[in-house]
Structure 1
């Protein structure tokens, strides 16, 4: 009986350990450590495990050092976050919609997570030197070596040599696995390929671009983190069937957008955390080598933080030489927390931006269950047919069928929202506001919104 009890106890302990997975995280990965915080995690009642506090850089206006930790969880866990410098006057855990409660003991806080989620933990109102805490879901697929059709990167730093443009080309029918504790210093290129998967818990560090998917189909990106690329975290051009899940991103340079899609179709972006110094999510039509319009794109269950520019930007870049222009349509943005929007230039402001130019037509866009916490400088809504000489050769053709449903905003000091057509032929039509609440007050009319004579079919429910 004692033997059986010992076996059962051992199996129970192993099961508990399997529900919490921490990563190898040391300076040997080539990633700098940030000593602002000490973070530990455990299964309730179990042994505390130290996490490696990565240094990540944010906000190109004046680049700052912030912190990031990661782990996997499959059951509730307890966390301790200790601030190592200065006293603690107040603590905010965002998104606020998560409702995370904590207990403070001197300069540390303790709290429990019931399920995987991504959080920003901010002490004394400091959003530039905060802690980004990524509690990932458990991995369901792992590898420990190179196999047939498996491109494997193990723990430690990988700096591939003699690669054109510092990029790794991924062929069709390949799974790329970045193990926990892995840092790859290169761009991953999927070009004219199909059935490609890029998975794991590793990091792409300072590539020219994080991942590029061009003229390809059936591509999955799941679980990895991209840190401070020179340009896009994920760039899609002329591709179909892209799925991006559980992606985390930081950028702090000019034009360092998060996820940009140009002439792509059938795209799902799910459960991502994007903190970027340009647009977090941008959906465009023709640019460079891609034509044909865009459609059927969904962004959901995500957290967007635009240190500069737009959390969401739709409708720029098109084919001005086409007789009819291109169409971008059937877009859904659902269950999203927007933590910040900061854009100094008034003509580029908007948390939720439909900015139609370059002979594009924008049709059938749904914004639903969006929670906006703070606007430093910017607008809540921006819906405009425009001609921007900096980027366009032709004005936009028109916008039709935009719905804003169950939107809340809790900040102050933003510029007025804007809805404008360009002229009698290039209008904004059929925009619906349903249950839009600004600082506790449901909007009932367009009072305070900048409009013109070239809009029609505006409904407020």
Structure 2
């Protein structure tokens, strides 16, 4: 049974109809959550079936609409100054009106809560609807569960130290803008975060230092300003990142091995089924810069949409897909598969061995990096840069079924490549 939902994007009020025989008002704080952040407005609601969703264009005429990621194939039509999204099912999308990406509307439509959330441990810490001032909530010990009911807002940061089996579940909001981060875990094992929206600014939004066994699922991250990384995995291994959305101004995902007194290898990391929008700083999917360790290996990025990658006024080495290696680690067995990139303003890919500096001792290596079914869909012409360095060549980089602005790329001699001291192969 299809529903109709009206979202007034200016005042963020909703009403709508349910079914063909009855009318139901959908109320903010009960049936959905809507809010404003520094990077746009977001609406969070739960859908249990196809739903028409109507967005008001802030009182102005709708001259154009951009719905990303395009792979979601959201059908729509404009009617009397409003945008109707047709038959929406659970998704995470960004809607831009009139070619103005500065104030998008993010629609986070979640599926019904998993049945598991109804069977939480008796000692689970539950946060009901409303605002909860938690400051920096330090978590230690083992077997700790935090549940955020729909409508719950935690203002502050959940900070795990040496904890085991910590779960943060639910469709609430962690507003870490005051603490400059939403979650931080140090030397923890068995961390699971599933469901919440995390807000942050000018700090690593969700960070993991020397952790093992991390699962991040159905996470929605909106953060602003420089250093607003979405997820940082530092000396952290055995990680699954699945079905998330990140919009921030720095790295969306960053994998490192040494910083702030923490160090160690990074391996067995999977990032999949997710959408990323990186702003003026940083990169969308980053390995680097700080990579002093024995190894960084078995890294997988699969089924991913990068809907925008901006750049600052000064060009640097920013890219949608990047390995900035200034450390001494052996980086190997990295796979980018089924990646759709919609807009990039600086570089499409950047891989480089960088001489020693304040972020690393240099001398590392990069080999066995594969790009399979990577497509750059639209936007300006930007290069693929792969540079070996004084420590040696970059080896065994393979592009397979690589498409660039609508055309297949069949040779490493294609002018889009800028290759120095690197072994690069392009396969059909």
Aligned-pair CA distance for 1:40: 4.3
Aligned-pair CA distance for 1:47: 2.8
CA–CA separation in structure 2 for the residues paired with 1:453 and 1:255: 30
In 2, are the aligned partners of 1:35 and 1:53 still within 8 Å (CA)? Answer: no
TM-score by length of 1: 0.84
Correspondence for 1:246 among 218, 235, 247: 218
Aligned-pair CA distance for 1:91: 1.5
Q: What's the C-alpha RMSD, in Å, of the aligned pairs? A: 2.5
Structure 1 segment 215-226 matched on structure 2, within 5 A: 215-226=187-198
1:179 paired with 2:152, answer no
Counterpart of 1:3 in structure 2 is: none
CA–CA separation in structure 2 for the residues paired with 1:112 and 1:421: 49
Gaps of 5+ in 2: none
Using a 3 Å threshold, how does the CA distance of structure 1 residues 43 and 302 change in structure 2: closer, same or farther? Answer: farther
Aligned-pair CA distance for 1:54: 0.8
In 1, are the aligned partners of 2:235 and 2:257 still within 8 Å (CA)? Answer: yes
Counterpart of 2:54 in structure 1 is: 80
Using a 3 Å threshold, how does the CA distance of structure 1 residues 44 and 378 change in structure 2: closer, same or farther? Answer: farther
Correspondence for 1:416 among 374, 380, 383: 383
Higher helix share: 1
Aligned-pair CA distance for 1:169: 2.5
SS in 2 for 1:348: coil
Using a 3 Å threshold, how does the CA distance of structure 1 residues 44 and 289 change in structure 2: closer, same or farther? Answer: farther
Aligned-pair CA distance for 1:356: 1.3
Counterpart of 1:352 in structure 2 is: 321
- For residues 289-320 of structure 1, the C-alpha deviation after alignment (integer angstroms, 9 at most, x for no partner) is 3222100000011010001221110132133x
Structure 1 segment 84-95 matched on structure 2, within 5 A: 84-95=58-69
CA–CA separation in structure 1 for the residues paired with 2:120 and 2:273: 33
TM-score by length of 2: 0.90
CA–CA separation in structure 1 for the residues paired with 2:363 and 2:14: 50
SS in 1 for 2:85: strand
Gaps of 5+ in 1: 1-15, 23-32, 59-65, 320-324
Correspondence for 2:370 among 403, 406, 413: 403
In 2, are the aligned partners of 1:146 and 1:152 still within 8 Å (CA)? Answer: no
Counterpart of 1:11 in structure 2 is: none
CA–CA separation in structure 2 for the residues paired with 1:212 and 1:122: 31
Aligned residues: 415
Counterpart of 1:391 in structure 2 is: 359
1:278 paired with 2:250, answer yes
In 2, are the aligned partners of 1:367 and 1:404 still within 8 Å (CA)? Answer: yes
In 2, are the aligned partners of 1:230 and 1:256 still within 8 Å (CA)? Answer: yes
Using a 3 Å threshold, how does the CA distance of structure 1 residues 453 and 223 change in structure 2: closer, same or farther? Answer: closer
1:35 paired with 2:2, answer no
Structure 1 segment 153-164 matched on structure 2, within 5 A: 153-160=127-134
SS in 1 for 2:316: helix
Structure 1 segment 159-238 matched on structure 2, within 5 A: 159-160=133-134, 166-169=136-139, 171-205=141-175, 206=177, 207-238=179-210
Aligned-pair CA distance for 1:186: 1.2
1:110 paired with 2:76, answer no
CA–CA separation in structure 1 for the residues paired with 2:363 and 2:162: 30
Counterpart of 1:101 in structure 2 is: 75
Correspondence for 1:258 among 230, 235, 244: 230
CA–CA separation in structure 2 for the residues paired with 1:286 and 1:54: 36
CA–CA separation in structure 1 for the residues paired with 2:376 and 2:271: 19
Using a 3 Å threshold, how does the CA distance of structure 1 residues 237 and 42 change in structure 2: closer, same or farther? Answer: farther
Counterpart of 2:332 in structure 1 is: 363
Deviates more, 1:145-154 or 1:114-123: 145-154
In 2, are the aligned partners of 1:316 and 1:360 still within 8 Å (CA)? Answer: no
Using a 3 Å threshold, how does the CA distance of structure 1 residues 235 and 107 change in structure 2: closer, same or farther? Answer: same
Aligned-pair CA distance for 1:431: 0.7
In 2, are the aligned partners of 1:41 and 1:77 still within 8 Å (CA)? Answer: no
Counterpart of 1:5 in structure 2 is: none
CA–CA separation in structure 2 for the residues paired with 1:329 and 1:124: 43
CA–CA separation in structure 1 for the residues paired with 2:376 and 2:416: 15
SS in 2 for 1:173: strand
Correspondence for 1:150 among 108, 114, 124: 124
Higher strand share: 2
Using a 3 Å threshold, how does the CA distance of structure 1 residues 441 and 47 change in structure 2: closer, same or farther? Answer: same
Deviates more, 1:223-232 or 1:406-415: 406-415
In 1, are the aligned partners of 2:229 and 2:252 still within 8 Å (CA)? Answer: yes
Counterpart of 1:433 in structure 2 is: 399
